[in-house]
Amino acid sequence: MLGVSSLRFAALRCHASATACGGNTSPADVGWLSFHVPEQEVDEVDTAPPENMHKWRMVIAYDGTKFKGWQYQPSCPTIQCFLENALIRITKLDRKKLCLVGAGRTDTGVHAWGQVAHFTTPFAYDCLDSIHSAINGLLPPEIRVREISAARPDFHARTSTKSKIYHYKIYNEAIMDPFHNFYAYHSAYKLNPHAMRQAAKHFVGIHDFTSFANAAHNDRERSPVKKITRFDVTEMGAVLQLEVEGTGFLYRQVRNMVALLLQVGKEALPPDIVPKIIAARDRKELAKVALSAPPHGLYLMSVNYDKEILKAPEGSPPISFGRTHQLSKCKLTFY
């Protein structure tokens, strides 16, 4: 049966799939989730796909509330873990051959609408609708593959990236809307959007963002110099939406930039504090005035690529956006 509608049942599959990966395992429990822990984690970037493999691109949306981020961890429920286990079950390949790589390693609690990932198989598909349905059928409802398509051999979900767009939602009313509780940061202080816009303009351009980066042991971003192409502050009723686009971001850079804008919005700091913090090139300078914004307001909205790199190889099956099911006129709906 392909339909799986709960995290609990999906987590149980991780036992079998971890064993299928070929490592010696020992159980590690996280709440009610139970996973096998391989002796050595296979790194998604350092695993190069063999020649003559077919590559596939996925666009993925997820509610990050219950997950420990994107990146595979042997003892924690992550987005990559659930996707890999669905693919392992469908393709009968181990994770080393699948070479699943995501464009962005979102943190615990961070959401996504347009995460992009690729994986490889030694065989081709004539139609992608079936595997698309099968993957979503094996995933918990908080994770959905929105589309799947054939990719060029030189396409890489992370290194081929042209830009990424992140949104950060702030609910700016005295009383928090419970329906936004896990999806927006609550600020009971009345924020000044104009001041925040003035401050956000200082982020645009090419800068050394050392002051806005948290250290990460697995961060491969060597250069702290990044380009921000736009940083907008949009008012949508009670919600303030911060929209930032850039060629790349350091670890927790977006949340740290948002944290400083929140202080400006509260009028605790002037807008011109931004260039001063940037110029300091010292994370401690930001820590004196602002803490990192919580993860649940952050969304990876889009990962953008050059059109040329997105062209599918000749003879590839059509892109799948999922199949819609139509009810016959002579049948009653099922309740």
Q: Which of 107, 129, 154, 272 is catalytic?
A: 107
| H/E stretch holding 254 | helix 253-265
Amino acid at 110: V
Q: Return the biggest CA–CA distance within the chain.
A: 71
Strand extents, DSSP E, the chain: 25-30, 33-38, 54-62, 101-102, 111-121, 143-151, 163-171, 185-186, 205-208, 225-236, 239-246, 298-304
Burial of 200 (0-12, 13-18, 19+ CB in 10 A): buried
State phi, psi for 27 to the nearest 5 degrees.
-70, 145
What is the C-alpha to C-alpha distance for residues 65 and 241, in angstroms, rounded to an integer? 19
Nearest to 134 by CA among 16, 4, 9: 4
| H/E stretch holding 308 | helix 307-310
What is the C-alpha to C-alpha distance for residues 8 and 249, in angstroms, rounded to an integer? 33
What is the C-alpha to C-alpha distance for residues 177 and 248, in angstroms, rounded to an integer? 32
What is the C-alpha to C-alpha distance for residues 35 and 84, in angstroms, rounded to an integer? 13
DSSP 175: S
Taking phi first (over 0 means left), then psi (-120 to 50 degrees means alpha), and beta for anything else, what does residue 132 get? alpha
107 carries an active-site annotation: yes
The count of other CB atoms within 10 Å of the CB of residue 222 is 6
Q: What angle do CA 156, 215, 42 make, to 5 degrees?
A: 45
Q: Annotated catalytic sites, by residue?
A: 107
